[in-house]
Structure 1
C-alpha cells in the first residue's frame, strides 16, 4: 500500500511540476524561474496542508524525493526541443495544462485526505474535505500568483468544485469502501469533472453588469 501511495504522490508531483514549469515557460521565465515555479506548484499545497494539520516540518522538507522529482521534471521541460514544441502550438499547450492540472488536482486532493486520516484518530468530514481541497488547489494558486495571473480556480472551468466533489467522494467512501477504493474513486471524480467541464465549457455563474 505504501508503495502504491508513493507512486501516486510522485505522479502528482510530476504532473503539477510540469504544469508550473509550462506556465513559467509561457511567461518567458529563465531556468531558475521555471524550476521555482515547478517546485512551488508541486509542493505548495502539501506544505499548506502540513501546516494546517500541525505536521511540521512539512514532508517536502523531510524527504527530498518530492523536490527532486519536481526539479528534474522542470529541467526536462526546459530542454529546447520540448520547450519549443509546447510554446509553438497553443492547442498542445492548452491540452497539456488540462491533463497535467487535472491529474495533479485529483491525486493531491485524495493524498491530502489520506494524510489527514493518518494525522487524527477520527477527523471530522469538514476537516477531511477542507484539507483535501487545499492540498489539491494550493500549489496551483501559488503558481498563478507568482506568475502574475488571476488564480485559475477563480476564472476557468470547474476547478475547485471538482476538487471539492472528489474530496467528498473520497472522505465518505473511506470507511465503507476501504482506502484504495476511496482514493481511486475520489481522484477519478476530480479528473472526470475537470475533463467534462473543459469539453462542455462549464463555468460557474459570474456577475453581470
Structure 2
C-alpha cells in the first residue's frame, strides 16, 4: 500500500508541477520563477497537511523526491515552451490551457485522496479531520501558486474547484473509516476528477452576489 501511495503521490506531483509551471509562464516569469512555482504548487498542499497533523519535519523536506520530481518537471515544461518556436501562438495557448486543466484535475484528485490517507493513518475515525486534510492537501498547492503569481486564488472564484475536492473527499473519508482504504482512495480520486472535469465542460460556477 505504501508503494502504491508513493506512486500516486509522484503522479500528482508531476501533474501539479505542470500546472504550476504553466501558470508561471502565463504570468511571464523567468526560468527560476517557473521552477519555484512548479515546486510550490506540487508540495505546498502536503506541507499544510503535515503542519495540521503535527508531522515534523515536513514530508517534502524528509524525502527530496517530491522537490526533485517537481523541479525536473518544471524544467521540462519550460524547455518545451522555450524551444517551441514553430507552433502557432494561438494553437500553443489552446494546448497549454487544455494541459493545465487536465493536469490540475489529476493533481487535485490524487492529492485529495492521498491527503485523507495520510490523515487516516493517524486519526482513522475523525471524519471531519480526514475531509479537511484531504481538501487542504488538494487545493493548498494551487492556492499558494495563485498567490505567488498575484492572482485571485482559483478556489474563490469562477469554476468548481475546491467544491470538487470536497465532494470527493466525503465518500473517500467514510469508506476509509469503514475499513475500505483502497476503495476510498480510488473512489475519492475519481469523483474529484470527474466532478472537476464535468464542471469545466459544462461551465458550472457557484453563484456570485451582485456588487
What's the TM-score once normalised by structure 2's chain length?
Answer: 0.94
Contact 2:16/2:104 (<8 A) preserved: yes
Please provide the CA RMSD for this pair.
Answer: 1.6
1:109 lines up with 2:87 in the alignment: no
1:32/1:4 CA distance change after superposition, 3 Å: same
**CA offset at residue 28 of structure 1?**
1.2
Unaligned runs of 5+ in 2: none
Aligned residues of 1:129 and 1:171 also touching (Cα < 8 A)? yes
- For each residue in 1:141-171, what CA deviation from the matched residue of structure 2 results, as whole angstroms up to 9, or x when unmatched? 0000000100011113110000001110100
Identify the residue that residue 203 of structure 1 maps to in structure 2. Answer: 205
Q: Give me the whole-angstrom Cα distance separating, in 2, the residues matched to 1:26 and 1:39.
A: 16
Superimposed CA distance per residue, residues 157-208 of structure 1 (whole angstroms, 9 cap, x where no aligned partner): 1100000011101001114461111100000000000110001100000011
Displacement of 1:123: 3.9
Who is 1:164 aligned against? 166
TM-score by length of 1: 0.94
Larger mean CA deviation between 152-161 and 58-67 belongs to: 152-161
- Between the aligned partners of 1:183 and 1:146, the Cα distance in structure 2 is 30
Tell me the distance in 1 between the aligned counterparts of 2:160 and 2:139. Answer: 12
8 A contact 1:158–1:204 mirrored in 2: yes
The number of residues matched between the two structures is 208
In 2, Cα distance between equivalents of 1:148 and 1:37 = 12
Q: Give unmatched runs, 5+ long, in structure 1.
A: none
